[in-house]
């Protein structure tokens, strides 16, 4: 009696099935190799992690997650950034007091956010929009804080005057003088302190945004100012 060949194909299966099974096995090995040699799309992975953070709050500021050979660090949350800004502004207030500038630079909280009010006599000569050198030390301190602002938070630089008509040929009205002064501060932040223009805006209110009476010399002096508003920071 002849022995059965172990490699003999089953009689009830078509002859091509073995070749087809071998081909499937080769394709499976090929795709496994492709996956093992591929790299993870870091951008998509970051987006996925951000989605998880927003949806579940499982990735807090300061934690990190490894993906492949790269380290993905979630961005600090808004509250943490605001706390840092307020802490820096508090340090600026201490600096102002130490320099004896507390009557010329005041930090308050307004409806739009924290407002740093700088009297014009520290910033400009009368009727001028050219910054004084002594003002730049305060502006440099402010620019360092502005750079820390998270994306989407802006700083509005607002120029204000008293109600006395301007007597210069260059500026026909207090409107023009106030916006020129606001622009001078914005340009300084951008040109000399490398603050991103995206974070800044300039506004001019002329005499129409007083914080004191214009009936007295003291009140008019308070109204001649530049307000630097950290919008949304309370």
The C-alpha atoms of residue 50 and residue 75 are separated, in whole angstroms, by 9
* Predicted pLDDT of residue 225: 98
The C-alpha angle with vertex 99 and arms to 94 and 102, in degrees rounded to 5, equals 65
CB 196 within 8 A of CB 217: no
Question: Angle at which helices 136-146 and 174-193 pack, to 10 degrees?
Answer: 70
Name all domains of the chain by residue range, CATH numbers in brackets.
17-72 (no CATH), 78-231 (3.30.1330.60)
Query: Across the chain, what does the average pLDDT equal?
Result: 82
Non-local CB neighbours of 150 within 8 Å, separated by 6+ positions:
75, 76, 78, 81
The model's pTM: 0.67
Query: Where do the H-state alpha helices sit in 57-152?
Result: 78-98, 120-123, 136-146
pLDDT for position 115:
96
Alpha carbon 69 to chain centroid, angstroms: 28
- Mean pLDDT for the stretch of residues 164-169: 88
Contact present, 208 and 106 (Cβ < 8 Å):
no
Lowest mean pLDDT among 14-18, 218-222, 227-231: 14-18
């Amino acid at each position: 009696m002849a022995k059965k060949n172990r490699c003999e194909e089953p009689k009830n299966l078509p002859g091509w099935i073995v070749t087809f099974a071998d081909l499937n096995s080769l394709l499976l090995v090929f795709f496994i190799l492709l996956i093992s040699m591929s790299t993870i799309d870091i951008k998509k992975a970051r987006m996925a992690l951000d989605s998880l953070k927003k949806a579940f709050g499982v990735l807090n500021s300061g934690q990190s997650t490894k993906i492949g050979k790269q380290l993905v660090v979630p961005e600090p949350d808004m509250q943490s950034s605001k706390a840092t800004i307020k802490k820096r502004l508090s340090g600026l207030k201490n600096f102002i007091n130490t320099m004896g500038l507390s009557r010329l630079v005041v930090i308050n909280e307004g409806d739009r956010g924290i407002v740093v009010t700088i009297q014009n006599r520290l910033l400009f000569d009368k009727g001028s929009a050219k910054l004084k050198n002594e003002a730049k030390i305060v502006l440099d301190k402010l620019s360092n804080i502005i750079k820390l602002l998270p994306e989407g938070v802006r700083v509005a630089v607002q120029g204000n005057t008293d109600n006395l008509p301007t007597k210069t040929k260059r500026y026909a009205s207090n409107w023009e003088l106030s916006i020129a002064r606001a622009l001078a501060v914005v340009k300084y932040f951008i040109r000399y302190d490398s603050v991103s223009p995206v974070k800044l805006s300039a506004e001019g209110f002329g005499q129409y945004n007083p914080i004191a009476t214009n009936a007295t010399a003291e009140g008019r002096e308070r109204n001649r100012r530049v307000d630097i508003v950290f919008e949304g920071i309370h």
